Amino acid sequence: MPVANERLSLVQALSSVVLSGRRRTARRFLQGLSTEELRYIAGYLGACLLESAHHPEPASRDRVAWDIIQYECCATGCEGYPSDDVEHKMILLLEYLTSCQCGAAVMSVPAGSA
């Protein structure tokens, strides 16, 4: 799939899981991201779906940040500090999840999952 088509598909898919009142904001946010950044967000949400893990009510921003760190640790084997690029992607993911309110509740991946 050409990168432009993949990017468009990712923007559409990621904006579709956002609460309807926030889709326009989400779409604008997502359109400003690179294909790699979109893939990272999609990977996190995919892990959430595969693990069927979610909070019954929205989690605090601190809790979501912790869940993202755990996700990254599981994905990379917790080998040292994440690179600047990965830290940047983690920040974008946190902003997407907390500001766009993905789904009915902000999703998380429990420790030990990947």
Classify 52 as helix, strand or coil: coil
* 47-75 pLDDT per residue, tens: 877 765 555 566 677 878 888 888 887 77
The Cα 101–Cα 8 span in angstroms is 21
Label residue 98 exposed, middle or buried (CB < 10 Å: 0-12, 13-18, 19+).
middle
| Cα angle 34, 90, 97; round to 5 | 90
Instruction: Give start and end residues of each alpha helix (H) in the chain.
Output: 3-16, 23-31, 35-51, 61-76, 84-100
Residue type, 59: A
For the chain, give every domain's residue range. Answer: 3-100
pLDDT at 28: 93
Which of 111, 100, 107, 112 is closest to 43 using CA atoms? 107
* 73-113 pLDDT per residue, tens: 777 766 666 677 888 999 999 999 887 766 434 444 444 44
Which of 103, 105, 100, 87 is closest to 29 using CA atoms? 100
